[in-house]
A and B are shown apart, each in its own frame.
Chain A
Amino acid sequence: MVAKGRLFGPGAFNQERIVLATAIAIFAVASFALPGFFTAENIVTIVRSVSVLGILSLGMAVVIIGRGIDLSMVAIMAMSVAAYLQLLANGMSDGAALALVLAGVIGIGLLNGFLVAYAEVPALFVTLASASFIFGYVRSQVIGADAVPVPRAHWVASLGSVQFLDIPIEVFIFAALALAMFLFLRFTKWGRFVYYAGDNPVAARNAGMPARPMLVLRYVISAMFAFIAGILTAASLHSMNTRVVNSTLLYDIVLVAVIGGIGLSGGKGGVRNVLIGAALTGVLLNAMTIIDIPLIYQNLIKSTILLAAIIFDGLINPRDEQTAQQGDI
């Protein structure tokens, strides 16, 4: 019976169930206790808010499974789209602006990956630094104000109102990206390599896997996902507010990944864990908003949950079970 639940290795199995049960429990309690929670409108809101967060978490998941972390995702998301919208406002053609911004996004992903893989700087510092670089550069050199509006009748603006079966388009995009990521991680060679590299980077390298190019690829993927999430955010809000870079969104992304059971020690978890983590986070955030808990208390609650999830993760997925060697005899 053990075999079923652990296609991607064990550990994630129990946590997944606990989190899923918690999400369902909160959902059930909120449905009864909170007026206006269990309405079609609110559920669409939940799914919609979770979609953008989920897309970001998919990108983060790939990096974390490979034993890294990308703290520059929110900066890439906000600043790339803000720059895109500003270039349009400056009168650049849509194609040229999109190409320029996409090149920038991929460039940042390559740079992050290059510094981690080849210069061997810890991912934490590389992505932290590139996040403030991107924010500082775009805010000071490209855009004039904190928020950049979407031009009237632009495709990003109309994207926001596209619905299918009364469900907004970002839900479908999230589903499509989740499916694509699932297929990539599960059925492609490079997807499998992510797990090997996350489990034991030295063994992966020695076995002849292309360890460093793979690492770069993961940061490019996370940058691309951040850009897509940014476009969807701009589509639903009709503008891109760059203050989001200094918000707690980054912690929400890590929260979704870790709470879903993607161990920070690498090699564990998958798309299913992101979906479960996103479900719990989405229900929780929505319920807190409906109860009208002030934002600062929401942050307190979220950070407590994140801390608990990381501690729990550390307990069930120890980074190294026994580095203590028995010594030189």
Chain B
Amino acid sequence: MEPAEARATEPVIRLENVSKLYRGVPAVKNVSFELRRGEIHALLGENGAGKSTLTKIIAGVVEASSGRMIHNGVEAAYANPNAALQAGIAMVFQETSLVPSMTVAQNLYLGSEKFLNRLRGIYISAQQFLQSLNFSVDPTAMVETLGAAKKQMVEIARAVHHNAEVIIFDEPTATLTPEEKRHFFALVRRLKARGVSIVFISHALEEALLLSDRITILRDGELVATGETASFDREKIIAAMVGRTLSAELYRQRDEAKIRKAGRKVLSVQDISMGAAVRNNSFSVFEGQITGVFGLIGSGRTETFKIVSGIYKRDFLRGGSIELDDRPVRYVVPREAVKDGIVYVTEDRKSEGFFETMSIAENLFGGLLAADREQHRIISHAEMHELSREWSKQLNIRAINDNARVVELSGGNQQKVVIGKGLVQKPRIVIFDEPTRGVDVGAIAEIHQIINRLADEGLAVVVISSYLPEILNLSDRILVCRQGRIVEEFSPTEATEGKIMYAAVH
């Protein structure tokens, strides 16, 4: 067969049975994927479905554990993003990879400078190049002064400048305004017209339906559906995204009689904002029940509750109020929130949850000291060990002894330590952010038990999760967060995975 002929029919990229394991945990399982020449291919799926990993394998950012990639009919594996770029595959990341203190032109030519580099020369050629793409970006502008959309244009221009025939966009529209989005779509279509193949990761189904030629849907690292965009509609996509086979036992539907009634309203949030992450958000939290909060990445759910617990400061000038027991509160540091009984259990336990070089006992005791419930001027080490014994038993934290360092424990035990560190503070409102992330199945069940017990004891409990079965299994009330605000509320009896996902995507 003639090479030219082969090029025309052969897809640009073909993945055959590609898998990727992170420390034994599969992120991508046996995926076979085809990217045709000059198509726009949307890649959809929940958080953690494996979209980013799959594209990172193509772009040489991560190495596949097994399987092979065929690029233009030749088997290829790129060791790093630069090698992939030289071969014509460019990836535009969520966080841009531009050098902020350099000009647009310098960024365009980064890595391909001549030995003697004349700034004026590259400004002129950059100007011509940007004009040929119809991009209105000033090549002499410093990248840090540009908005998100223009930065993206520069990234794209850089990809095109390297003659990329495949460009991968990871959540390109998440940070764009509607106006910028329109520009972006026009741009992607122009790239397509130039024969560039595009992979487009998104949470926004409408965008995918509008823009793409074909759609592939991943779930739990597996490819569940792929086909022409015309053969999909919103319902079909959502069904494919959430349809679940796994863990039906662990995550069974709630028994209607067991749904807890709302107690007294303890927390009332009105109209709070913080930058672009939280926009005029309003909701309430009640005692004696679990309020589940679902949202995709970038929906502002974590930021919202970090504001409530005093970790972040909201934009006070933009108004709004937070009321605890009908009393307005304005926390500047977490200490004030902790004293008022609000505890936030972080989603990132290693960097902001536990004290890694310290023992379980010291970690738990740290929570007690910080809360200052009893006046502990003088420390009793006997009391510390007593506290540790009691809580290790209550939360079933397993370690050789309570002097074991927390960093040596398993993910599940670490998470229990972080939870325990919060619970010794005797909170009234506990906010769990992704309480079972990176935790083994046995510990998940135990942590769910702990959470349920707290609500039964009358505490106001909030569970933030991007895992739908967890939300459905735990919540007595479900809030859905999208673009920085709570947009919908469901009762667990009416909620289904499909309905929640429908509300969460935009």
Interface residues of chain A, those whose CB is within 8 Å of chain B, are 2-3, 6, 9-11, 186-189, 191-193, 195-196, 199-200, 202-212, 267-268, 317, 321, 326-329
Contact pattern, B 386-418, Cβ under 8 Å of A = 1, otherwise 0: 000000000000000101010100000000000
Q: How distant is the Cα of A200 from the Cα of B371 in the complex, in angstroms? A: 17
Contact indicator B379/A208 (Cβ below 8 Å): no
Closest to B402 in A: A3
Given contacts A10-B405, A208-B337, A326-B23, contact A200 B354 (CB under 8 A): yes
Closest to B26 in A: A329
| B88 interfacial by beta-carbon distance below 8 Å | no
Q: How distant is the Cα of A209 from the Cα of B365 in the complex, in angstroms? A: 12
Q: How far is the CB of B414 from chain A (nearest CB, A)?
A: 12
- A/B pair count, beta carbons within 8 Å: 115
Contact indicator B377/A189 (Cβ below 8 Å): yes
Q: How far is the CB of A119 from chain B (nearest CB, A)?
A: 16
Q: How distant is the Cα of A210 from the Cα of B366 in the complex, in angstroms? A: 12
| B448 interfacial by beta-carbon distance below 8 Å | no
Q: How far is the CB of B317 from chain A (nearest CB, A)?
A: 21
Q: Which of B45-53, B244-252, B453-461 lies at the binding interface? A: B45-53
Contact indicator A9/B359 (Cβ below 8 Å): yes
Contact indicator A206/B52 (Cβ below 8 Å): no
Contact indicator B377/A202 (Cβ below 8 Å): no
Please, which residues of chain B bring their CB within 8 A of the CB of A189? 369, 376-379
Q: How distant is the Cα of A11 from the Cα of B296 in the complex, in angstroms? A: 41
Contact indicator B48/A206 (Cβ below 8 Å): no
Closest to B311 in A: A206
Contact pattern, B 204-245, Cβ under 8 Å of A = 1, otherwise 0: 000000000000000001000000000000000000000000
Given contacts A205-B333, A208-B334, A208-B339, contact A329 B52 (CB under 8 A): yes
| B346 interfacial by beta-carbon distance below 8 Å | yes
Closest to B306 in A: A206
Can you give 15 contacting A-B residue pairs, CB < 8 Å?
A6-B403, A189-B369, A189-B377, A192-B365, A192-B366, A199-B355, A206-B334, A206-B346, A208-B338, A208-B372, A267-B355, A321-B407, A326-B23, A327-B52, A329-B27
Contact indicator B352/A200 (Cβ below 8 Å): yes
Please, which residues of chain B bring their CB within 8 A of the CB of A210? 333, 335
Please, which residues of chain A bring their CB within 8 A of the CB of B353? 203
Interface residues of chain B, those whose CB is within 8 Å of chain A, are 22-23, 27, 48-50, 52-53, 56, 62, 221, 309, 311, 333-335, 337-339, 344, 346, 351-359, 362, 365-367, 369-372, 376-379, 401, 403, 405, 407, 421-422, 425
Contact indicator B358/A9 (Cβ below 8 Å): yes
Given contacts A2-B403, A196-B355, A328-B52, contact A207 B333 (CB under 8 A): no
Q: How distant is the Cα of A61 from the Cα of B421 in the complex, in angstroms? A: 27
Please, which residues of chain A bring their CB within 8 A of the CB of B362? 9, 195
Q: How far is the CB of B194 from chain A (nearest CB, A)?
A: 29
Contact indicator A207/B370 (Cβ below 8 Å): yes
Q: How distant is the Cα of A6 from the Cα of B422 in the complex, in angstroms? A: 25
Please, which residues of chain A bring their CB within 8 A of the CB of B27? 329
Q: How far is the CB of B150 from chain A (nearest CB, A)?
A: 24
Q: How distant is the Cα of A6 from the Cα of B361 in the complex, in angstroms? A: 13
Given contacts A195-B358, A200-B356, A329-B27, contact A207 B367 (CB under 8 A): yes
Q: How distant is the Cα of A186 from the Cα of B379 in the complex, in angstroms? A: 8
Closest to A206 in B: B334
Q: Which of B50, B354, B370 contacts A209 (CB 8 A)?
A: B370
Q: Which of B358, B365, B378 contacts A188 (CB 8 A)?
A: B378
Contact indicator B378/A327 (Cβ below 8 Å): no
Closest to B375 in A: A189
Q: Which of A187, A268, A329 contacts B22 (CB 8 A)?
A: A329
